[in-house]
């Protein structure tokens, strides 16, 4: 892989970790995510329109739009689960768990559903992923954030399948634009319902009540307790615009890298964001409980993702 591609991927990892830090430290992560995705949609729409005109006005088949819609719905699920995890746990726990669960599930699905065989290198990668996930969750074993983070990883695995199929049906940038529009629509639709019926609060309370190991206090406590970092959240729309720019920058950087290098070499470098986010949580947000275990787990997850991709 050439140095320019490595530089692009490291920038993408930095941008991805950065917008997760901003989301983690916001007052209402899900509402902030809706604003950010809406801002990102406004940013990419003129770019997509220009690309559409300059490339001969291509289109997507109906199944492409369907996959973009399904992936957009899974973006809503992803952000809802990620927001719930960030409200209940540390960045250095939630981010590595969510990002590490997805490649592990992809491998397991290939083995048990498709009948694929693991190479020795990929098997070592799976072991590294499992060890890393264990290490990251160990300081807060059984905490509610762990459940939400792992479920978030499941949602990443699901929408990744939709996206892999969708980008093959037309220009990747056009599919990406359709995905941004669908994601923004579902997120804002949920926020509209939330403002009228408090759906999130009811759902989280119901889940916490039936979650194995939840305490009596958890059953009656507010579903989304305020986070200590809320006081420094800053103006909502300004932060949302920055978040949207970071999201678009991440997406465009990854697309550019994929046009210059194969996926098997791109994916491991992209996951280096896990170490960046874990380090920021430990050293900047003061998440010191089991700090070195979390950092070691984050490194193990990145190594595992790399070995799985290469193997």
Distances (CA, A) of 113 to 71, 106, 107, 128: 21, 10, 10, 22
**What is the pLDDT, as a whole number, of residue 231?**
39
Cβ neighbors of 104 (< 8 A, separation 6 or more) are: 126, 129, 130, 133, 153, 304
pLDDT at 230 over 50: no
pLDDT of res. 215: 54
What is the model's pLDDT at position 273? 92
What mean pLDDT do residues 43-51 have?
94
Phi-psi region of 289 (alpha: psi -120 to 50; beta: other; left: phi over 0): beta
Exposed, middle or buried, 42 (CB in 10 Å: 0-12/13-18/19+)? middle
**In sequence order, what are the residues at sequence separation of 6 or more whose Cβ sits closer than 8 angstroms to the Cβ of residue 182?**
68, 69, 71, 72, 73, 75
Q: Are 36 and 83 in contact (CB under 8 A)?
A: no
Higher pLDDT, 95 or 224: 95
Q: What is the pLDDT of residue 207?
A: 64
Poorest-confidence range of 154-158, 210-214, 224-228?
224-228
Does 68 score more than 80 pLDDT?
yes
For 153-181, what is each residue's pLDDT tens digit?
999 989 988 988 898 899 999 999 999 99
């Amino acid at each position: 892989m050439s140095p320019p591609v490595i530089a692009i991927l490291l920038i993408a990892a930095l941008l991805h970790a950065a917008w997760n830090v901003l989301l983690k430290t916001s007052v209402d992560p899900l509402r902030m995510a809706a604003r950010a995705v809406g801002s990102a949609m406004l940013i990419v729409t003129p770019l997509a329109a220009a690309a559409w005109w300059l490339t001969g006005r291509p289109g997507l088949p109906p199944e492409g739009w369907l996959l973009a819609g399904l992936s957009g719905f899974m973006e809503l699920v992803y952000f809802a689960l990620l927001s719930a995890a960030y409200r209940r746990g540390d960045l250095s726990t939630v981010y590595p768990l969510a990002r590490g669960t997805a490649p592990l599930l992809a491998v397991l699905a290939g083995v048990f559903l498709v009948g694929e065989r693991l190479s020795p290198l990929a098997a070592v990668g799976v072991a590294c992923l499992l060890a890393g996930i264990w290490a990251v969750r160990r300081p807060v074993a059984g905490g509610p954030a762990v459940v939400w983070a792992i479920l978030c990883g499941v949602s990443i695995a699901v929408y990744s399948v939709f996206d892999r199929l969708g980008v093959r049906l037309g220009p990747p940038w056009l599919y990406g634009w359709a995905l941004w529009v669908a994601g923004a629509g579902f997120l804002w639709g949920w926020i509209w319902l939330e403002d009228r019926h408090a759906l999130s609060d009811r759902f989280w309370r119901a889940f916490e009540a039936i979650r194995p190991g939840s305490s009596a206090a958890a059953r009656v406590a507010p579903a989304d307790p305020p986070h200590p970092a809320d006081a420094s959240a800053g103006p909502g729309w300004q932060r949302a615009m920055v978040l949207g720019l970071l999201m678009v920058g991440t997406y465009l950087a990854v697309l550019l890298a994929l046009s210059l290098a194969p996926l098997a070499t791109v994916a491991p470098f992209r996951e280096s964001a896990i170490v960046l986010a874990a380090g920021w949580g430990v050293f900047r947000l003061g998440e010191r409980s089991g700090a070195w275990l979390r950092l070691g787990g984050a490194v193990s997850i990145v190594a595992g993702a790399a070995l799985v991709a290469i193997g």
